[in-house]
């Protein structure tokens, strides 16, 4: 058990958030200890109690209260699904919630970080978003968007592609960094 690696799974408020238990299950099956973290907007989209049972850890969305257990240090981070909003903020050094604080620092510390976006093609076509992806890649953050990774869907069609969200690609990428 001592050599188990810890993966932070960071959930944002995009369609597939409600299915993040799938990512947790796949990660645990590959030997990761999983700590789930959620943006404030994602909390109402996920099953906090189920994820707590699944991981044996509190879902973190705010700074620790005195006496709450510390999260183990991350060996890697996967942000999935990652929103337009969080990707842009992260790329531009905005840290106005708990997960942005954690991930911003982790990138600076060199913790391997993988972003699996879920955005429609309208969001994806925006200049600020394209710039954000470039900036993050310059910082050696893995952004899994494009051919062979997440491909943006047409605006308004998100719910029809939830079940094709390629959670496993994020884990494949995280594993390559070990
Ligand atoms: C029902 C619903 C679905 C949404 N789906 C997406 C989505 O697929 N991708 C996305 O980037 N934003 C989506 N949004 C918008 C984000 O939830 C919104 O930008 C929010 O501020 C993101 O917060 P976060 O990045 O802190 O999680 C959706 C919003 C709602 C209400």
Q: If you take atom 4 of ligand 1, which residue's CA is the nearest one?
A: 14
The structural domains of the chain, ordered by start, are 5-176 (3.40.50.1950)
Tokens standing for residue 148: 């062979």
153: which DSSP letter? B
Question: Which atom of ligand 1 is nearest the CA belonging to 40?
Answer: 26
In the sheet that 32-38 helps form, which strands lie side by side, from edge to edge?
Answer: 32-38, 5-11, 76-82, 113-117, 142-143
What pLDDT is stored for residue 3 in this prediction?
77
What pLDDT is stored for residue 69 in this prediction?
78
What is the C-alpha separation between 25 and 28, in angstroms, rounded? Answer: 5
Say which residue the tokens 């099956």 belong to.
Answer: 29
Strand spans (E) along the chain: 5-11, 32-38, 76-82, 113-117, 142-143
Q: If you take atom 26 of ligand 1, which residue's CA is the nearest one?
A: 39
What is the C-alpha separation between 32 and 90, in angstroms, rounded? Answer: 24
* Helices within 56-166 (DSSP H only): 84-91, 98-109, 121-124, 127-138
Mean per-residue pLDDT pooled into runs of 10, the chain (178 residues): 85 97 98 98 98 97 87 96 98 98 98 98 98 98 96 94 95 95
Strand spans (E) along 72-137: 76-82, 113-117
What pLDDT is stored for residue 150 in this prediction?
97
Neighbours of 74 (CB within 10 A): 23
What pLDDT is stored for residue 1 in this prediction?
45
List ligand 1's pocket residues with C-beta within 6 A. 12-15, 39, 41-42, 83-86, 118-119, 123, 158
DSSP, collapsed to helix, strand or coil, labels residue 28 as helix
């Amino acid at each position: 058990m001592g050599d188990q690696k810890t993966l932070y799974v960071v959930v944002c408020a995009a369609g597939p958030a409600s299915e993040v238990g799938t990512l947790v299950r796949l990660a645990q099956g590959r030997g990761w200890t999983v700590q789930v973290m959620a943006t404030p907007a994602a909390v109402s989209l996920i099953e906090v109690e189920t994820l707590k049972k699944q991981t044996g850890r509190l879902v973190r969305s705010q700074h620790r209260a005195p006496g709450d257990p510390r999260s183990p240090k991350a060996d890697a981070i996967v942000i999935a699904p990652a929103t337009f909003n969080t990707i842009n903020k992260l790329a531009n050094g905005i840290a106005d919630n708990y997960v942005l604080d954690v991930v911003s620092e982790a990138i600076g510390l060199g913790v391997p970080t993988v972003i699996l976006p879920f955005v429609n093609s309208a969001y994806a076509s925006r200049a600020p978003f394209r710039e954000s992806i470039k900036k993050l890649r310059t910082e050696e953050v893995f952004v899994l968007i494009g051919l062979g990774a997440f491909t943006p869907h047409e605006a308004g069609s998100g719910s029809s592609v939830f079940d094709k969200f390629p959670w496993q690609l994020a884990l494949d990428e995280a594993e390559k960094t070990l």
